[in-house]
Each structure stands twice: as C-alpha cells, then as structure tokens.
Amino acid sequence: MGNTGCSPCARHTKLILVVEEADIIELEKRYWALQSQSKSGRVDLDTLRPLISPPLPVDLVQGLFNAFDENKDSHIDLKEMACGLSACCRGPKAERLKFCFKIFDSDRDGLLSRNEVEEMCKSLLSVRRESRVNQEIDLEDVESLDPVAIAGDILASHDEDKDGFITAEEFQVWAVKNSLPDEFSKLLFQVKAVKWPISCRLLSS
C-alpha cells in the first residue's frame, strides 16, 4: 500500500530530517544503552514496553512497536528509532497521523478494517477519558460516545471507495477534521518528551 517507509521518508514526503549532531550522538547513546539492557540483545517489544507504557495504554504498546518496526523483523534498529521518534513527535501533523495510522493497523496490511477502526475508537476514547482530568472535557460527553457508532460514522463518511476499509489517506482526512485523535497525538509526544529528549526538527524542503 501507499505507506511510506522510514528509509525513504525524506524523499516520499519531501521532508528533510534535520538533526543536530549532538542529538544524533545522544540518540545513539540512548539506543545502545537500551539495547544493552535487552535480554535478546535487540530492541524488541519487551525492551520497549517499560519505556513507553505508561503513558501509553498497555493495549497500544504492540501497535506503537509495529509503527516503529518498519521492516517487520520484530526489532527496532537505530534508524527505525530515529525515524519513528521524529515522525510521531516532531513531524508535521500529516506525518504524525501517518504514524498513528500504523499503530492502529494491527494486521499491518496498510488498511484499517471495521474491527481495527472500532478498536482505534475505543483506544482514542479511553485516552481522552484519562486525559480529561486536566481539560475542560465533560466526562459525560466522553462516556456517551460509543466507539462502535463512531467507527460506523467514520466508515460511512470516509470510506470513499466503499470497500469497507479505511486507507491511510482516508484516515488522515478524518483525523485532521476530528478532535478525537488530538489527546492521543499529545500522548505520543509525551512518550518522546519524557524518555527521549531529542530535539529533531522536520523542515519542509
């Protein structure tokens, strides 16, 4: 599908990843430290889990790992780590949404099925419920939202070709107009801000 990989991310999206040399050194240092703690000697799911959850809900850990693991070999190499961190945290909204899409595409076929959309809505609502404490979101408003109904709406209005699946592009159209993914996006930023204080910048070319 049209999912852009990490390696050609700059070319595909006409973005240039600008990372200070000090940041690269710091990222590498943290990466190798992380790897040295791993029982398997690789940055795998078990290595990453304590690093990202909390703040990330446990049921999204595998999805986030998948989003990083671009070549699907069940470990995150240094390049995947660097690309993932910049995409999920510092990229323009479109890049971050592309990254979110991968988190919710559980079977990694490049499409969101109805079931995946429903699971996504459940996760987004639970993140919103958790984060509403500091915000002016009425709990009752959140409680009254039904993930299955929201998923139905998403498919009804954004599945352009009516094949029952949401593509990354269709997801983005929905997500830019909807506030539901916002807290999730902020949460991803926290994951990075807390654990990986790396200041990558993504600039348009």
Give the footprint of Ca ion on this chain (CB under 5 A).
69, 71, 73, 105, 107, 109, 111, 159, 161, 163, 165
Q: Which is nearer to Ca ion, 69 or 119 (CB)?
A: 69
Tell me which residue of 203, 148, 181 sits closest to 17, measured CA to CA. Answer: 203
Q: What is the pairing mode between strands 166-167 and 111-112?
A: antiparallel
Smallest distance, Å, CB 174 to Ca ion?
A: 11
Smallest distance, Å, CB 142 to Ca ion?
A: 26
Smallest distance, Å, CB 117 to Ca ion?
A: 9
Sign for the CA dihedral angle at 130, 133, 135, 136 comes to: positive
Angle (nearest 5°) at CA 95 between 172 and 136: 70
Q: Are 44 and 74 in contact (CB under 8 A)?
A: yes
Smallest distance, Å, CB 130 to Ca ion?
A: 25
Q: Which is nearer to Ca ion, 111 or 131 (CB)?
A: 111
Q: Which is nearer to Ca ion, 165 or 189 (CB)?
A: 165
Q: Which is nearer to Ca ion, 159 or 183 (CB)?
A: 159
